[in-house]
Amino acid sequence: MKFRREFKNRYIYFLVLLIAGLLTAGGVIQYRNYLLDKQAQLEFEKNMEEFIEESEYDSTAQVIEEKPESSGSENIVETTDATEVSNSNSVKITENKQDTKEATKPAGNKADSEGKSISAIKMKEPAMETMVVPVFGTMYTEFSEDALIYSKTLDQWSTHTGIDIKAEEGSPVRAAMDGVVDQLANDPQLGLTIILDHGGEVYTKYSNLSTLDLVSINQSVKKGDVISGVGKTALYEIADDPHLHFEVIVQGKSVDPKKYLPKQSLKN
């Protein structure tokens, strides 16, 4: 009886130590994940501030083609007035200079001499380099246009037209650039999907979302606006961890989104 009692006490003691060890290890892991998420959030906010400053600067740097000044004509008048010669000679000098001016004047500026205005403001294309990372997280699956990537769900190898960013389910998903909501869809493979139109045949695509209720078709969104959350609605990636499937489409072709995201925005 005494042996059994001692064995039971030692077993309970060992069990308590094991539970305490597991709780401590779990707490350390949870605290480490918290620090990593906090660091990613601070980096994101820093990048957001830098990008906002850059976009404000870009908006003031639109190139305006100014109408050429008629400085040559003024010089002709001054020369004519200052030269004390006969009227006939003055007329000849003025005509010769005007002929020279007409001959060297670019043909594209003809409308200026006739008093017509020309639209001089260049239309800006989307500043692709100013994208922000759409969700805090780690790189889960890279973009692959040619090389094949293994799919756990499909148990096969295939190309990958975007990147997968691993994040906790429900994490906020943000617009990478200013744009307009072009499509809201429940894709049979990619799950709940939002497509934003940024002009200039540039689109961003957000899939495997948790909801489509935060935005509506034709709604304007700003860079960094929350448009949905990370979900698990993509059937062909259902075996994977929760993540955002993010694509960038330029002139109908998928390109690697990492080219336009801040270098330090995603953890590997």
Q: Tell me the backbone φ, ψ of residue 242, rounded to 5 degrees.
A: -55, 135
Q: What is the pLDDT of residue 66?
A: 44
What span, in angstroms and rounded, lies between the C-alpha atoms of 217 and 195? 10
Q: What is the pLDDT of residue 83?
A: 42
Give the ranges where the chain is alpha helix by DSSP (H).
2-59, 71-82, 87-104, 110-113
Domain boundaries, the chain: 71-113, 126-259
pLDDT tens, 156-212?
A: 556 678 899 999 999 999 999 999 999 999 998 889 999 999 999 999 999 999 999
From residue 236, give the alpha-carbon distance in Å to each of 14, 102, 130, 172, 199: 45, 68, 31, 22, 30
pLDDT tens, 40-78?
A: 666 666 666 665 565 555 544 444 444 444 444 444 334
For 96, the 3-state DSSP assignment is: helix
Pair 254, 145: CB distance under 8 Å: yes
Residue 259 corresponds to which tokens in the numbers above?
């080219």
Q: What is the pLDDT of residue 148?
A: 59
Percent of the chain topping pLDDT 90: 31
Q: What is the pTM of this model?
A: 0.53
Q: Would you say domain 126-259 falls under CATH 4.10.520.10?
A: no
